[in-house]
Amino acid sequence: MTELELVASGGIDPRNLNRSDYANSLAAEALRVGLLTEDDMARIRGDMMNALAEVIGYATEGKSASVLTSTAEKLAQSLLFNISTCLLAEPSPEKAATLLRDRRMSELYAKGYQINKKRHDEAKRLWARVRYTRLENGGAAYDKTIDVYFRRYLSSYDARTGAHDKIYLSLPACGIRGAFHIDGAVRVLEKLAAINAGKRDEGVIEGSQPIPAFYEERKEPNS
């Protein structure tokens, strides 16, 4: 079934879904087409707050039920990112909407966390491979990407409390540029491993958003 046929049949319109904010955009679209009701939305919002309280408990090791506003915002982003990861793993938006309607948010968060934790483990495995098969003439930017940017990102990444964290990369010689979530980081490392193995790839991997123009300059003094 094509997208237009899906829309015509009264289903979810994929054009109204935003992968960068999948849980919220899916809920809004499911409400629009009648897969969710206002009562469902109210339950989801309340359950989201309960799930956030659980994440705060993880982050504080159960020592506090309150955190700074900035910390709460970060934990809420991680919660939504893990839930979105879980929903995106479903074979269709309609099935994902059914999960939103029928499952607890803490369950969706836990499933998304497991997916992103596995991605983190895979990224660390690939990073070790890339480090030990590196090009001898890759250049300063190539070496810094491997030794500084990936080391910092992978050592600090926590799929439970910072699943949405990104790595910012600019390596035009390898066709890599932008801000990457953990799934994108895996794709970048796979590309670098292939390049190191002598496999030519003319493709370009763009991150989920452009890298800030001043990013490298701003990061340079701390390298």
Per the domain annotation, does 134 fall within a domain? yes
Residue linked to tokens 């948010």: 105
Per the domain annotation, does 33 fall within a domain? yes
Distance of CA 58 to the CA centre of its chain: 19
pLDDT at 223 over 70: no
**Residues 134, 211 within the same domain:** yes
pLDDT at 201: 66
Instruction: Give CA–CA dist 31/195, Å, rounded.
Output: 45
Per the domain annotation, does 187 fall within a domain? yes
pLDDT at 104 over 60: yes
**Residues 217, 122 within the same domain:** yes
Host domain of residue 192 = 116-222
pLDDT tens profile 115-171: 999 999 999 999 999 999 999 999 999 999 999 999 999 999 999 999 999 999 999
**Residues 182, 205 within the same domain:** yes
* Number of domains the chain is built from: 2
The contacts of residue 45 (CB under 8 Å, 6+ apart) are none
**Residues 215, 124 within the same domain:** yes
Distance of CA 30 to the CA centre of its chain: 22
Per the domain annotation, does 109 fall within a domain? no
**Residues 56, 140 within the same domain:** no
**Residues 99, 159 within the same domain:** no
Q: How confident is the model at residue 205 (pLDDT cuts 50, 70, 90)?
A: confident
For the chain, percent of residues with pLDDT exceeding 70: 85
pLDDT at 212: 59
**Residues 126, 215 within the same domain:** yes
Domain boundary among 49, 78, 103: 103
Domain boundary among 42, 75, 103: 103
**Residues 73, 14 within the same domain:** yes
Per the domain annotation, does 48 fall within a domain? yes
**Residue 57 or residue 111, greater confidence:** 111
Angle at 180 (CA atoms; ends 179, 182), nearest 5 degrees? 155
**Residues 10, 89 within the same domain:** yes
Domain boundary among 80, 103, 126: 103
For the entire predicted model, the pTM comes to 0.86
pLDDT at 221 over 50: no
